[in-house]
Amino acid sequence: MVCPWAERHEKDERTVIAEEAVSRVLAGTDIVQLIGRYLPLKPAGRYFKALCPFHNEKTPSFTVNPERQIFHCFGCGEGGDAIGFLMKQEHVSFPEAIRSLADRAGISLPARSRTHAGSGTGQNEHARHGLLEIHRVATEFFRQQLQHQTVGATARAYLRSRGIPDTVVEQFGLGYATASWDGLLRHLLRRGFSKQQVEEAGLALPRKDGSGAYDRFRNRLMIPICDSAGQVIAFGGRVMDDSAPKYLNSPETAIYKKGAHLFGLHLAASAIRDRGSAVVVEGYFDLIALHASGVQHTVAVLGTALTAQQITLLHRHTTRAFLVFDPDPAGIAAARRCVESLLNSGLDWRVILLPDGEDPDRFLRERGPSAFAEALAHSKDLMEFLLDRKVSGFDLTSPEGQAEAVNAVLPLLGAVGNEVTRQRYADKLARRVSLSNDAIVRELNRQVRGRKRDTIPLTLQPRGLPSIEWKLIHLALHHPGAADRVRKSVRAEELEDRSLRRIFQYAVVGPETGRGATPLAAIEPEAQRILTQLLATDLAEYDEEETIERALSDCLARLTARRERKKGEELRRQMEAAERAGDHAMVAHLQAEFLALNRNRPPLASTQYHGTMK
């Protein structure tokens, strides 16, 4: 049977995933192990908790339920199953997430081909897989060239001169692009790729006279750039002679946006979670040298100022980061440019400025790992960094310099959303410029009040108390006896909330005969969020049968009262219409029905509902 939800998600693609295959993929995936690859999960009773990767928070509200195989964040409302997590975490489509989970679980994923004329999404999917494959083949080609006895001799000698052992060369998949104008291009053409595909991957450039194409990377040490799953998506090339530029990078493509990735994250993620912090550097060889020296919780920013997307990537793995910048004017300027976003990132940032003229690679080679560890220990927080005379130029020993420092720093602090963080930095500023804390705070509060407040996103707005419909479905999901009574007493069409109506049909009434349960990731996003909240919320005091029975009876009685109230309102409308039409017999009949309805209405129980959100 073809999976109906996979077909809906993939209606513009060329492959339809079989329902049985999707069920096997979910059954073969442990959501705790999956999410544990991205987040430092900590046991919390029957569940696991972590800081949410989908919004900034200080206290963990992201919960993983191994029994239900779901996740839910009580802070931002995101939730789902293993497929949904991978879709959100890796920004992939529903079919891509299923295929990725199948690969991880070693499950062969059968598929049936379909043709969709003008298939936009299908063409994009096909192109993406083609780009990943061409980068995989190119990586292997470059590695073979590096290991060739004569061709790669110079590149291997260069790596040895920088103290990079063979194990690290292998770990990072380093390779070599020869000086040939079309060595890689010819290899890829022989492997079945077209010239257009090679150009779209950024590995070849068209000749100006239109006579063909040539390799982008020539006579360069090749450094593969991977996504968080370890798939090669781009390259950096370090020249082996005096040619310019010294470093040449892949252009942005459909699979590579340099501000959206961190070099080395796929290798560093586990160490970052274990160490509780990350080291962020600028260059490829800075990172490689640190990994070779045992500082494996290091990532690099790929030649950009640190972007909001890169900060979000870090936040998924840690709450603390050390920013290492070259001490030259360009490095200091790069650090200052990203300070405002760092102040608001929710991460505890420390900044390291190495001695003049020394980047991390040179620092390690000349001074060793112990000196770098000492530099980490003497790192500065963001306020100390901003007020460092080498960075700011302010002379804090003079009244003029103190005033300049306050005027420069306060607007940055005014943009900090977290009040505790803002106050902490204000205290540091006051101490450094020898002013009273009250004066700094008064001016800071004035600037904060003057800023336009952002609108709270809908998903973060305070929610009201649970509705009767929410309570009924919640009891049905957590108690088999309650589920039977709810199925017999409640009709889906009488539920007013559209999302809860969908959840009732999906999770309480159950799938149609002969059809397996639909993956959470395939239902509407709002229904998915509410359902994972329902599943992640315990019954608390209602563990005893008697209290569950009272709560259920109360909810059913209230729903019955609402149903009869609506019926009474409809009878009133019909009586008014009959009176206007002069149909006295109909009026009498409707009045009798209305009186009988009120006479048979049962009293409501007084039991209130309780629940605890874990």
Please give the pLDDT value at position 206.
93
Q: Report H helices in 28-165.
A: 31-36, 82-90, 94-105, 120-147, 153-161
Sorted by where each begins, the domain ranges of the chain are 4-113, 122-255, 260-387, 394-450, 468-599
Give the model's confidence band at 461: pLDDT under 50 very low, under 70 low, under 90 confident, else very high: very low
Beta carbons within 8 Å of 570's beta carbon, 6+ residues apart: none
The H or E element spanning position 237 is strand 232-239
Q: Report H helices in 211-298.
A: 265-275, 284-292
In which region does residue 310 sit, left (phi positive, over 0), alpha (psi from -120 to 50) or beta (all else)? alpha
Distances in Å between the Cα of 217 and the Cα atoms of 176, 199, 200, 203, 395 are 9, 12, 14, 7, 47
The torsion of the CA quartet 544, 546, 552, 556, rounded to 10 degrees, works out to: 180
In a 13 Å sphere around the CA of 516, the CA atoms on its Cβ side amount to: 18
Helical axes 19-27 vs 94-105, angle rounded to 10° = 50
Beta carbons within 8 Å of 172's beta carbon, 6+ residues apart: 223, 224, 264, 267, 288, 291
Q: Answer whether residue 179 shows pLDDT above 90.
A: yes
Arithmetic mean of pLDDT over the chain: 79
Q: Answer whether residue 21 shows pLDDT above 80.
A: no
Please give the pLDDT value at position 262.
93
Give the model's confidence band at 18: pLDDT under 50 very low, under 70 low, under 90 confident, else very high: low
Range from 133-137, 239-243, 428-432 carrying the lowest mean pLDDT: 428-432
CATH class as words, domain 4-113:
alpha beta
β-partners of residue 263 are 300
Average pLDDT over residues 39-55: 86
For tokens 């505890």, name the residue: 348
The two three-digit tokens of residue 348, written as one number: 């505890």
Range from 211-220, 251-260, 500-509 carrying the lowest mean pLDDT: 500-509
User: Looking at per-residue confidence, does 108 or 368 come out higher?
Assistant: 368
Q: How much of the chain, in percent, has pLDDT values that exceed 70?
A: 80
Give the model's confidence band at 500: pLDDT under 50 very low, under 70 low, under 90 confident, else very high: confident
The two three-digit tokens of residue 504, written as one number: 């009732």
Neighbours of 501 (CB within 10 A): 18
pTM of model > 0.85: no
Could you check whether the bond before residue 245 is cis, i.e. omega within 30 degrees of 0? yes
Neighbours of 233 (CB within 10 A): 22
Q: Answer whether residue 608 shows pLDDT above 60.
A: no
pLDDT in tens, 196-229: 999 999 999 999 888 889 999 999 999 999 988 7
For tokens 């080291």, name the residue: 279
Give the model's confidence band at 44: pLDDT under 50 very low, under 70 low, under 90 confident, else very high: confident
Kindly report the backbone phi and psi dihedral angles of residue 285, in degrees, each rounded to the nearest multiple of 5, phi listed first: -75, -20
Kindly report the backbone phi and psi dihedral angles of residue 309, in degrees, each rounded to the nearest multiple of 5, phi listed first: -65, -40
Range from 21-25, 238-242, 290-294 carrying the lowest mean pLDDT: 21-25
Average pLDDT over residues 138-165: 95
pLDDT in tens, 417-451: 667 777 787 888 888 777 777 777 777 777 666 65
How many whole angstroms separate alpha carbon 196 and alpha carbon 470? 54
| 348: three-class secondary structure by DSSP | strand
| 466: three-class secondary structure by DSSP | coil
pLDDT in tens, 483-495: 888 888 888 888 8
Please give the pLDDT value at position 598.
67
Please give the pLDDT value at position 478.
79
Average pLDDT over residues 139-143: 97
Q: Which amino acid is at 409?
A: V
The H or E element spanning position 15 is strand 15-17
Please give the pLDDT value at position 340.
63
User: Looking at per-residue confidence, does 322 or 478 come out higher?
Assistant: 322
Beta carbons within 8 Å of 450's beta carbon, 6+ residues apart: 414
Q: Which amino acid is at 466?
A: P
β-partners of residue 613 are 537
How many whole angstroms separate alpha carbon 553 and alpha carbon 563? 15
Range from 245-249, 261-265, 290-294, 453-457 carrying the lowest mean pLDDT: 453-457
Is there a contact between 597 and 572 (Cβ–Cβ < 8 Å)? no
Q: Answer whether residue 607 shows pLDDT above 70.
A: no
Beta carbons within 8 Å of 161's beta carbon, 6+ residues apart: none
Range from 155-169, 368-382, 458-472 carrying the lowest mean pLDDT: 458-472
Q: How many residues does the chain have?
A: 614
How many whole angstroms separate alpha carbon 321 and alpha carbon 314? 8
CATH of domain 260-387: 3.40.1360.10
* 122-255 CATH fold: DNA primase DNAg catalytic core, N-terminal domain (3.90.980)
